[in-house]
Amino acid sequence: MDISTLQSLYRDSKLHPVALVEEIYDRIEADGLHPVWISLVPKTENLARAQELASAGSVDTLPLFGMPFAVKDNIDVAGLPTTAGCPAYAYQPVTTATAVQRLLDAGAILIGKTNLDQFATGLVGTRSPHGACSSVFNPLYISGGSSSGSAVAVAKGLVSFSLGTDTAGSGRVPAAFNQIVGLKPTRGALSTTGVVPACRTLDCVSIFAETCADAAKVFSTAQAFDAVDSYSRDSKTMSPRAWDITSFRFGVPRPEQLEFFGDSDSAISFAKSIQSLETLGGTKVEIDFAPFRAAANLLYSGAWVAERLAAIGSFLSDHASEIDPTVYKIIAGAERFTAVDAFQATYKLEELRRVTAKVWDVIDLLLLPTVPRTYTIAEVQAAPIETNTNLGYYTNFVNLLDLAAVAAPAGLKSSGLPFGVSLIAPAFSEASLLLTADSLHRKLTATISASARKLSETPALEAQKRPPETMPIAVVGAHLTGQPLNWQLTERHGKLLATTKTSREYRLYALPNSTPAKPGLLYEPGFEGPGIEVEVWALPIETVGSFLAMIPPPLAIGSLRLESGEIVKGFLCEPAGLAGAKEITHLRGWRNYISQL
């Protein structure tokens, strides 16, 4: 059910959208509505939509043409009730949530709305009057929550992708328990207009998909600044954090800070994940995980629980008997917090943000188990608060610290249950997170979820030529990787795009009286040299000015032609600055010259 496969079938006329819709509804009827679904778009409506899409012949113009999807039932869809998993709370929305509408406009077909932990309060998937979803690998084990139905709908192959929400890990935990991809974007990257809030300041719309490539496609389609959403953020004003996915640094907690709550299988699987990421070019860096845990503890033991009470207001007291007992206990507990408590918690969080921000100077991403262990439905029912708390050990801090995350499958444990890891980095790092996660997913997992379909038969996620909102800059000497001024690029979150050569019209000189030693590159029309080695780096637009300010004369940034014919900005030298310089063009690059000194 992955997007690429369906698109190919549509293009080759081997599958018609109407036939796919028929098959999906037949499978749902055979399985039963609950516990995965709460409500469905009427079959007749979707058959008509499928026919309309096919008649328009827009398979190559609509990015999600004919792709079936589901949404968590705390997200509005006009024509279907929004219940947040509580029938007494249900209302009929007049408009469709912004993120959902963007997907519909792109040609996707909404099948229906899915089950959840009531009011999106929980990581277990058992707190619903519609029944407890279970892992597709074993019906005795939980599916994870709160976006339980959304994850299971993808894992069962009923839809190509789905939307959930994520405040404490609800878009990641169910992905781990069902061996699918869960993307928790940067807060505000996807509009939350039309979403029933859990914690308004922290909520995210999340994406479940079979592959990172599918998650990336859905994300790029749904992402847009929403002026109606006061928490929406424009990615164009933010610096996208990126790294070279063939050479990067990843953080892991110190050994004594890892916690698996007795699940030795998960500990073994995590060690394998670390080794695999190292073989993909990563360098492991042990970090102090304590400040991240301290931030995580603020979510439920601090005043943010009061946001859950603010979200549903008097409904809690007026309908106490119609609310799941565990959900009621959690939300009602917020009444003990005062405005003073809220401010004190905010001050503490800002301290922890300052402390944890230093970690990103030494790592590019954080690798963690998505969950410490797997629980049975019976274990959760016996200890609903404790088990839920344990499941959030590695997830609860992410939104509080304004980070992005991708939960990726990481193979099966000896028990036959899936294990998953999360790759986490600062806001607007989705592109690089997905690329890295895709490589790790493909290294550790052979099949898609619990099916026999091979992951290798789906297309890998391809890197963009360069990250959005960046400028390519060619460097030739002291800014090359490993050279003394390379830090000026990495400090500004520059990403190495390629090592290549200039076209043949360039001469290279070693400049005199330069500290550190630097070369000068001179363009000479008609000259036919060997071409000079350069590295092309992508530098976030907002950091380019500060970088240029550090370039001393006679060096300057001008237009430079690469051997491919592409023209990029790069280092050149003023001719007057070459007085007394030694020509080293024949050595073909600065590194070769340095090696001879």
Report d(CA 318, CA 538) in Å as an integer.
Answer: 56
Whether cis (ω within 30° of 0) applies to the bond prior to 35 is yes
Q: Which two tokens stand for residue 580?
A: 């007394």
Q: Are β-strands 418-426 and 365-369 bridged in parallel, bridged antiparallel, or unpaired?
A: antiparallel
Show the CA angle centred on residue 252, arms to residues 250 and 255, nearest 5°.
150
Q: Is 55 a catalytic residue?
A: no
Active-site hit among 72, 113, 156, 217: 72
Active-site hit among 146, 160, 239, 269: 146
Specify the amino acid at residue 292.
Answer: F
DSSP string, 188-250: TSS--TTB--SSTTT-EEEEEESSHHHHHHHHHHH----TT-TT---GGGS------TTSEEE
Question: Of 137, 115, 1, which Cα lies nearest the Cα of 419?
Answer: 137
Residues facing residue 422 across a β-bridge: 368, 407
Q: Is 170 a catalytic residue?
A: yes
Q: Is 247 a catalytic residue?
A: no
Active-site hit among 128, 160, 170, 449: 170
Q: Which two tokens stand for residue 309?
A: 């009470």
231: buried, middle or exposed (CB in 10 Å: 19+, 13-18, 0-12)? middle
SS3 414: coil
Q: Are β-strands 555-561 and 567-573 bridged in parallel, bridged antiparallel, or unpaired?
A: antiparallel
Question: Of 503, 511, 375, 400, which Cα lies nearest the Cα of 166?
Answer: 400
Show the CA angle centred on residue 426, arms to residues 423 and 430, nearest 5°.
60
Residue 253's φ and ψ, nearest 5 degrees, are: -65, 155
Residue 370's φ and ψ, nearest 5 degrees, are: -65, -45
For residue 497, what are the CA distances in angstroms to 343, 427, 434, 470, 539?
Answer: 44, 21, 17, 11, 10
For residue 249, what are the CA distances in angstroms to 78, 282, 285, 484, 583?
Answer: 45, 5, 7, 19, 37
SS3 letters across 124-171: CCCCCCCCCCEECCEEEEECCCCCHHHHHHHHCCCCCEEEEEECCCCC
The catalytic residue positions are 72, 146, 170
